[in-house]
Structure 1
């Protein structure tokens, strides 16, 4: 019988403003240590000191396993905007969908944008849709904390597995982390120097095709369906 797994999720805010969020999937014995790590992360985040930290622990059922995406690092000497634009042009996605990446920040979750019209579709504009309940399968029996790169790879793999999602664009709102990515076609395109160091701008955009899936089904998968990603170990 498979060992029971738990989702441990952290959300931190300051005067109602989102500061940070993180999560793990771990075994029962590691729940206390993982919870302490997430508390510490919330209290030391460069976005500020929160006045509210919520830790949620939940037993999981029906965990889906998905493969990791292939990582491709793009030329760091080429401006990030050029890399994003070339990938958009190659797929025929509406260019206004790319505008959201630099014009909206401070959301708890991601925007869902129609890939062909550029229109925003998620029902809660003030918070977006937060992909949740995921981790690297190789870390589910370890209390060790993840780093930015590992977290991004895990999230990108879950989002790529969601029905109707064609691509994901991301720039972290962490002022100390300037690397972003565009994930599509099973490839995680790592894009360097997406913003100036010290900038708190950052957001996440999911490109959606309504011909492939119903939006409520996609949101349900992203927000609630437990996923472990194979092939990521640190």
Structure 2
């Protein structure tokens, strides 16, 4: 896709030491960058780490590595907005949408139990749609989706066309949801932020698109959620490799 060599740039921030030594997760971020724009990418992620509403980190790690694999280009999911007046209404809509995606009610219930048991996850929990059981082995680390981006110019064209705010938060969420939904093993994704000042979340799948829900937790709540409902009959090593290692660019073409 690009003639110039690209790099995967990643940031993680914690308070109380590194994550693996028990530090509290503060923030994380992913970008793709050319070498020429590396300073700008690093500064953007550093600013994100140092200004998060969860607090000031005392551990920040930013690293980058060259991408040698072919980069997959994917169209963004269609976005749909759902305004609700309460957490209860938002969570009821979540369950309705997940059932529309073909997930049984008892599986959804089991997934929420998994979420309650792992309240300080840094990545995603993989839940098998047949059993409702967690099928990754990452414990509190979870599965972190990486190596993905959307060039700002194209994102802003998309935002203008659909009358969406061109906020980095919107872009980052849609990029991740689009990559996750692109794999055939993904049935649906459920996410809301661990940012105590951000209460919006989403359900996403190829069929549903990106369903933004305005109210999925109470203001001030630091517990986030990232659940991937997965067809566990697929090769999970291949699936996790795609999420973590396959380079992906989101690109929108106006029809």
TM-score, normalization: structure 1? 0.90
Partner SS, residue 29 of structure 2: strand
Q: Which residue of 2 aligns with 1:35?
A: 42
Q: How does 1:124-203 map to 2 (within 5 A)?
A: 124-138=138-152, 147-186=168-207, 187-203=209-225
Name the CA distance, whole Å, in 2 between partners of 1:188 and 1:227: 17
| Partners of 1:181 and 1:191 within 8 A in 2 | yes
Runs of 4+ aligned residues of structure 1 deviating over 3 Å after TM superposition are 137-142
Name the CA distance, whole Å, in 2 between partners of 1:102 and 1:121: 13
**Shift of the alpha carbon at 1:140?**
8.9
| Partners of 1:168 and 1:207 within 8 A in 2 | yes
- Equivalenced residue count is 230
**Shift of the alpha carbon at 1:148?**
1.3
Q: Which residue of 1 aligns with 2:12?
A: 11
Partner SS, residue 53 of structure 1: strand
Runs of 5+ in structure 1 lacking a partner?
none
Distance of aligned partners of 1:28 and 1:65 in 2 relative to their CA distance in 1, 3 Å threshold: same
| Partners of 2:6 and 2:33 within 8 A in 1 | yes
Q: Which residue of 2 aligns with 1:81?
A: 91
Residues 188-221 of structure 1, C-alpha deviation per residue, up to 9 Å, x if partnerless? 111111011111110200001023x211110111
| Partners of 1:168 and 1:183 within 8 A in 2 | yes
Residues 141-167 of structure 1, C-alpha deviation per residue, up to 9 Å, x if partnerless? 99xx96211110000001011241111
Q: Which residue of 2 aligns with 1:56?
A: 63
Q: Which residue of 1 aligns with 2:112?
A: 99
TM-score, normalization: structure 2? 0.83
**Shift of the alpha carbon at 1:33?**
1.3
Distance of aligned partners of 1:147 and 1:69 in 2 relative to their CA distance in 1, 3 Å threshold: same
Partner SS, residue 44 of structure 2: helix
Q: Which residue of 1 aligns with 2:78?
A: 70
Mean Cα displacement is larger for which, 3-12 or 150-159?
A: 3-12
CA RMSD of aligned residues (A): 2.4
Q: Which residue of 1 aligns with 2:238?
A: 217
